[in-house]
Structures are given as structure tokens and as C-alpha cells.
Amino acid sequence: MASIRDYDQIVVSHPTMPPPAFFQDGEYRRIYHQVWDWSSDRQYTVHLYITEETRIGWNCRHFVSVYRAVLREELTALLSHAGFVDVRWLMPEESGFYQPLVLAIG
């Protein structure tokens, strides 16, 4: 079992920023947000910002990585080529998970 972003939809709209996330651990808070810079139809640079509250103020960290959008059909073919069988997808409406899940037997 694995999960990927729903790139079949994402490559159509090319969003620049998914919604931020907010967490609170006891008295301290954290905010995670990303900015996506698309360099082609299927590749983008992710800027991840983690802003953390500390006892002396706020601290922000920045991480960068390049992502490639892999469509469900492509991942299905790759899994089959690698010898997995019974490859099937569960969409969020069916699984209750927020992004597509792929199930396969190796």
C-alpha cells in the first residue's frame, strides 16, 4: 500500500500553494505551509516552511525539494513492470484517506 498526491488533478490546475497546517503541542504552536514553483507541466519545486513557537519567540525554517508529478496510470504501469499484481486504486471517497491509495500484491 502506498499513497501519492492526486497528480491527475494537480497537473490540470497547477496550484501554487496547498492549505497551511496548524498544530499545537502543549503550549507551543507550529505552522506548516508550502509554496510550489512549477518549472514544467509535471515538475515543481516545493518550498516547505515550518514556523515554530518557542519559549523565546518564533523560529522559521525553510526546506526545498524538486518533485515530479507521477500520474496514477504511470505508477500502475511501474508497479506492474516491477512484478506487482492486482494493482488497484482507492480514491478518498472510498478509503476515507485524504489522497489516493494504491494497493498491490508483490
List the domain boundaries for the chain. Answer: 2-105
* The 2-3 sheet, strands edge to edge: 2-3, 101-105, 85-90
3-state secondary structure of 45: strand
Would you state the pLDDT for residue 52?
Answer: 97
- What are residue 24's DSSP bridge partners? 29
Would you state the pLDDT for residue 25?
Answer: 85
Yes or no: say if 3 and 92 are a contact pair by the CB < 8 Å rule.
Answer: no
Please give the distance of CA 20 from its chain centroid, rounded to a whole number: 13
Cβ-based neighbours of 18, under 8 Å, separated by 6 or more = 34, 36
* pLDDT for residue 30 is more than 90: yes
* Euclidean distance between CA atoms 69 and 52, whole angstroms: 29
Rounded to two decimals, the pTM is 0.84
pLDDT digit string (tens) for 38-96?
999 999 999 999 999 999 999 999 999 999 999 999 999 999 999 999 999 999 999 99
